[in-house]
Every structure is written in C-alpha cells, then in structure tokens.
Amino acid sequence: MSNSDSGNNDDLSGLSHFFFYVFIVHPATAWILKPGRFERKKSIWYAIAFLTALASIKTGLEFNSMGSNHYAVLDVTRSSNPLEIKRAYKKLSLQLHPDKNPSPNASDEFDSVKQGYDILIDMELRDVYNKFGSEGIRTNKRFDETRFFLELGIYYLTWAVLSFILTLGKKNNGDARHWIYSGMIFMLIVEVYLMTSSSQETGSSLPSWFFPQTTEYEIIWLLHSLFPAYMNGCRTLGGYLYVDIEAQTRQLLIALQEQNKDILLVLRDVQINVQNVATRSISNTPAPNSSISSSSQLPVSTLKATPTGKLKELQERLQVNHSNVASAVKQLHKDAGAQSNNSSFGFYAMILGYIVISYIFS
C-alpha cells in the first residue's frame, strides 16, 4: 500500500468516525437525556454508561483489528534487553517454525516473530516502532521535532475549531466547551511527553510497570480514538445540564403578560359595575340645591379620589405595564429565532469545515 493510499484510508476512517458520533451517537444520547423520559440522575448515568460502553466496544474492536504488537508476539516487554529478546526469539522460532508448527498459518506466524525480532533487537528501530508503530517502520520514519509540532498543531487546531463550532449553541458554550478543551489540553500534554521524552536504557518514555507491552504509539492512538466520543459526551451532557436563564425569563414575562390581560379584563368589569351603581345612586338622589355644584364641575383630584377614578388610574398603569411586557416578549422571541438560525448555520459550517480541513491537511 502506498503512502497516499494509507493517508486516504486514515482520512476516510477519521471522517466516518466523526459522522458516526455526530449523526448517530449524539442523537441517541439526546434521546436518553430527553426531559421526562427518566429521572434526572438516572438519565445522566444512563447516558454516561451508553457512551462508555459504545466507545469501549468500538475502540476495542478497532484495536483488536490492528493485531498484536511485536512485544506481545515475542512475549517480552519494553524494558527487555537484546539478550532477553534473543532468547525469546530463539524459543518461539523453534516452536513456530513451519517444519514443526502444524498450523495452516505457520509461515505467517513465523514471519511475524522474525519481523518483531528484527525490529526490537535494533534500539533505533525499536524507538521508531514505539513512537510511530508499524507504519513508521514501513515508511522509515524518524522523529523530527519541527515536523512533529507542525503536525501536532494542525491536528489540535482542527479539533479546537470543530469543537468551538459544535458548541456554538447557547447550551454548550459554557461547561461543555470547558470540558472539551480541558480534555484536549490533557491529551496534548500526554502526547508531547510520550513523543519527546525517552529513557536511555529502554528508549521508552513509559515506566516499565505501566502496561509493559504497550507502546507510546498505541496510547496516543487510543486517546485520539476516544476523543470524538468524549467530545460528543461533553456536548450532550453540557446541553442537558445547562440552565437557560433567558428562557426562564421569557416564560415569566409571558406569564406576566397573560396575568396583566386577565387583570385588565377584571378591572373593566369592575369599573363598569361601579359606574352602573354610581348612576343608579345619582338617579335616586333628590335634586341638589342650586348652591351645590354638579359632579362634572368637581376638580380632577376629587374625581381620582372616587372608586371609579382609582380604577381608571390603575387600569392606565396596567396598560402601560402590559405594553412594556409585550415589547419585551416580542424582542425575546426575535432573539430566540435569530439564535436558532445561527446554530443551524454553525452546524452546517462545522460539517463543511471538517471536510475541507481534512482533505487540505491530508
């Protein structure tokens, strides 16, 4: 397989993983976290368990498809010296030689042992294998600090931009974005440490007791494989745990608007009844003396002091308040619509940006 074919396969694999988590895993997790489906604590635990199980199964299957590494094939560790590797190879070569091994895959098994021995016995090749895997051996890759940090910057910048676009919504631009970027920083620190440090004795940056047959390349591969699941988990849980203060304010304003409408209707009825009672009282009152002024000639302050005047004053104030609340509700609806359009635009921009960046930097 050529380098270009391998790079294209990696790009297609990364793109398929990205779409798998965005279009399948995220909606499934959102279904679990739908309000009212389960209790709040149970919903969170069910979602975490679902994401963990799915990521573990998917990553485990992919890891198994890679096959055993050379350390596992020879049954040695990263700290094994050349003498120990020679002994292990001699023992296995006698057992797995095609002349003695009845297995139909005897030739392939023997070649795997021979290949592992040739790589691990050479400290320089062993270091390349630890850092870059079998692909690094095949392409005769060597660690170059400038190239490493350039590739590292491209990789993390791409995911940082995509994570930012994915969390453009109001629900996700708080805790979810912080969780994602914290995970990226942790992954970056681990990757830089594993790739830039090594022991003079074993050539590995990992302590001998830590998964003694696992290479730095496999650990970095594992982190990169799990990050899409982690990112979508943070995005989903962050949106579920988010408390929308503006939405609550909008609901309160709408409720206040409806309450004002009901109060105004009641006040109109009360005002009409008071006016009717006042009219009947006036009609039943004896004719006043000429020295007493009619009610139409009373000052304004006197009119407002009557029950009808007070009701009218209260009605005017409620009408002004109702107008202000209605204006605020209208503006909130307008802002919500604009935010929804921006979120949709950001989602499609994220999809397009991922495809473009993936092929530009392949």
Mean pLDDT of 7-26: 63
pLDDT top residue among 17 and 144: 144
Confidence of residue 310 (pLDDT cuts 50, 70, 90): low
The pLDDT, as a whole number, for residue 204 is 76
Which own/partner contact pairs does 252-261 have at CB distance under 8 Å and 24+ positions apart? 253/325, 253/328, 253/329, 253/332, 254/329, 256/325, 257/322, 257/325, 257/326, 257/329, 260/318, 260/321, 260/322, 260/325, 261/322
**Above 90 in pLDDT, residue 84?**
yes
What would the DSSP string read from start to end of 31-100? HHT-BTTB-HHHHHHHHHHHHHHHHHHHHHHHHHHT---HHHHHT--TT--HHHHHHHHHHHHHHH-TTT
The answer, yes or no, to whether residue 60 has pLDDT greater than 70, is: yes
Residue 65: what pLDDT? 85
Q: Which amino acid is at 329?
A: V
Weakest-pLDDT range from 11-15, 97-101, 147-151, 188-192:
11-15
Q: Is the dihedral of CA 299, 305, 306, 311 positive or negative?
A: positive
**Average pLDDT of every residue of the chain:** 76
pLDDT at 141: 87
Going by pLDDT thresholds of 50, 70 and 90, the confidence category of residue 306 is low
pTM of the model: 0.66
- Which band of pLDDT confidence, cut at 50, 70 and 90, is reported for residue 295? very low
pLDDT of residue 219: 93
**Span of 228-232, 289-293, 334-338 with lowest mean pLDDT:** 289-293
Binned at pLDDT 50, 70 and 90, residue 2 comes out as very low
Question: Residue 335: its pLDDT value, please?
Answer: 55
Looking at the predicted structure, is the pLDDT value of residue 33 above 70?
A: yes
Question: Residue 8 pLDDT more than 60?
Answer: no
The yes-or-no verdict on residue 143 having pLDDT over 90 is no
Which tops the pLDDT comparison, 18 or 108? 108
d(CA 345, CA 339) in angstroms, rounded, equals: 10
Tokens of 162: 């995509």
pLDDT of residue 129: 93
- pLDDT-derived band at 48 (thresholds 50, 70, 90) equals confident
* The pLDDT of residue 4 is above 50: no
Name the β-bridge partners of 35.
38
**Among 24-28, 59-63, 159-163, 201-205, where is mean pLDDT lowest?**
201-205
